[in-house]
Structure 1
Amino acid sequence: MLFTRQDIDRLDRIKRLNIINSITGIKPANLIGTQLDNQTNLAIFSSLVHLGSHPPLLGFVTRPPGDVPRHTLENILATGHYTINHVPVSHVEQAHQTSAKYDREQSEFEICGFDSEYINDFPAPFVAEACVQIGMKLSQIIPIELNQTRLVVGQIELIRLPADLISEEGYIDLTSANTAGISGLNSYYQLSHQNTFPYARPKPPKQSS
């Protein structure tokens, strides 16, 4: 099956949305925790990307505030801090439910069955059930003009995870962490480690026989 750009534009809106959201393959499933005026908020995101290691930068994409409230972005703009928490495979149904449009006065932590916790006086709540927890400080927000989304860029201020998940080289065992992945908007996967290879360097071309 071949889709041209014109074919894509002519697709039913929901089908187009699902195809384009799935086309990148498995994406990380993360819960972003925020707090404003003692009111906690939790929402699932699948757009988290690594932007650099020194300084340690992560980014995620969100739509701007407008007719539809964007509590996560609004809280980050107000406080400058947020947390990123890996979704455990055992909690994918609860994590997915955080995507529902709850009122600001309702906490997705409580409604969706997650416990909030605070680490080292960090000003945003972490998900206690998450094996990998990351504390973030807002760095900048980059507008993407073509579709009016925003790339939220933050610096890592804190990481907490079990010591036995980190190899001597610093790789994190996501299989043992039971971290879930997402395809599209609502299909969840369990990750399975396949192999680890050394740093790739150029090799001489194979000699033909």
Structure 2
Amino acid sequence: MPETDPAAPAAPPAPPAASRAPSRMATLVLIAVLLAAGLAALAWYDTRGRIAATQDELARRLREIESDARDARSVARTAQEAVREAQVRLGQLEGRLAESQSQQLALEALYQDLSRNRDEWQLAEIEQVLAIASQQLQLARNVRAALLALQLAEARLARADRPQFAPIRRALARDIERLKAAPMVDFPAMAMRLDNLIASIDSLPLAF
């Protein structure tokens, strides 16, 4: 077995640059991976935050839309109730108007009936007064009593103030003037005119 020479030089060590190069590369790769992972994490976090913010915004807008929809439905219900109330009130007013019109028609009919009855009463009174005047002239030849009767009849017709009574009033006025001119009055002719005047009263139109 050969002996080693202690004086022989030792083998030179491997150069360090070759052994450190892979280590640096791995470190750089690791750093790059970590940076990429960090950036990805930041991007994911930012995206998640944006998504969450978008979801919150959508939820807020949805709540606002739902609130607006509730308000709109409430307003619509209020409007419908107001329309129904207005329709009810309109129906009540129409009913009252119809009732008022019916009452007005009834009052007008009653007024016409009263007017006709009043005219009939007045004409009946005038006929009676003229009959008295005719009798006073025919039987008693009492010009004064006949004149008073004719003046009374003319005054009542004047108070009535009906256009249809105008012909009778004119005839009475002429007879009153003739009676005032007595004793030249033709009593039979005057009595006949009064009888004709009484007969003409029945043909007068009444108020409507």
Q: TM-score range by the shorter chain?
A: under 0.3
Structure number with the higher helix fraction is: 2
Larger radius of gyration: 2
Which structure's relative contact order is higher, taking Cα pairs within 8 Å and 6+ residues apart? Answer: 1
